Amino acid sequence: MEIAMRELLIEKHFISAGEIRRHLEVLDSRTPQLGARLVAKAWVDPEFKARLLRDGRGACEEVGISFYENTQLTVLENTEKVHNLIVCTLCSCYPREVLGLPPDWYKLTPYRSRAVREPRGVLAEFGTIIPDDVEIRVSDSTAMIRYLVLPRRPEGTEEMTEEQLAALVTRDAMIGVVPVEREKGGAQ
Amino acid sequence: MNRSEELLKRLPNDIGGQLGAPIRRVEHEYLPWEKRCHALADVLDMRKLVNTEEKRRGVEALGAEMIGALTYYERWIAAFANILFQKGVLTPGELAFKMEEVAERHGKDTNI
């Protein structure tokens, strides 16, 4: 049906083949590497971090990451006292501009229903144990407001360059289900 | 609260906070048609034919059975078809005709 619909819409001049091609290129250009670069830059540059936390979309545009009309990005910082997790309970809203397309598990019922109800249980299923004295904040995304987690910088990375730091940051850490590890390895 | 009241108070997609199954950490490489479908959604939005809220409403309007049976992007395509019919952008007849033409060209059924 997709092929037929697209061809019909093009034939009837509602859309053009060029537009579809351009949007496919944009989709392919959006990967978690974009988010990882933001995180690494925030870790090494406190003023950039302040701007990122104050105005996520503005800070992205500052480093050349464009946004779709009207969507805002709010960046949530993990600290020793607060751990953030993002979800879209109603559908699948996700910070696509900086992470690309979401994984299936993010869009399926168990994560969507349980993340706001029992985040510690959900995190444990990802192998992530958050101590009881750390507050967990779950942010429910909407079409207009997307969220990105700024995970904590791992210990022992003081000597690393921004590029080396960015290579450690995974998509799942920016959703908030796992921490960033000093050694990159294991599942995304 | 009886069953009718439960159903009225919670639309099918309003699942936040409900009990749920263990999370299966599944993901798959996006198929070419799925990416094209996503690009189509973005173009329909840009062209002001179907925006995100309309798309979501269209998916919800498919009803619980279809939502359960169709895959994620199949739901989008079905929703687009319904919305575009309602707006008079396409007719069911022309889409059906085109789908047959595409099927003949490809020598097999199309993806949906």
The string of pLDDT tens digits covering residues B63-109 is 889 998 999 999 999 999 999 999 999 999 999 999 999 999 987 65
Check CB contact under 8 Å for B24 and A116: no
CA distance B2 to chain A (A): 22
pLDDT in tens, A89-141: 999 999 999 999 999 999 999 999 999 999 999 999 999 999 999 999 999 99
For tokens 């707006």, the residue is B87
For residue A185, the model assigns a pLDDT of 54
How far is Cα A30 from Cα A50, in angstroms, rounded to an integer? 24
Q: Is A60 a catalytic residue?
A: no
Q: Which of residues 5-24 of B touch A (CB under 8 A)?
A: 13-24
How far is Cα A49 from Cα A165, in angstroms, rounded to an integer? 15
Residue A39 host element (H or E): helix A32-44
pLDDT in tens, A51-103: 999 999 999 999 999 988 788 999 999 999 999 999 999 999 999 999 999 99
Question: Which carries the bigger pLDDT value, residue B1 or residue B6?
Answer: B6
With beta carbons under 8 A apart, name residues in chain A contacting B61. Answer: none
For residue B80, the model assigns a pLDDT of 98
Please state, as a whole number, how many other Cβ atoms lie within 10 Å of the Cβ of residue B22. 10
A186: three-class secondary structure by DSSP? coil
Average pLDDT value over all residues in chain B: 91
With beta carbons under 8 A apart, name residues in chain B contacting A113. Answer: 15-20
- CA A68 vs CA A27, A64, A74, A97, B48: distances in Å: 12, 13, 14, 8, 13
Query: Is there a contact between A64 and A87 (Cβ–Cβ < 8 Å)?
Result: no
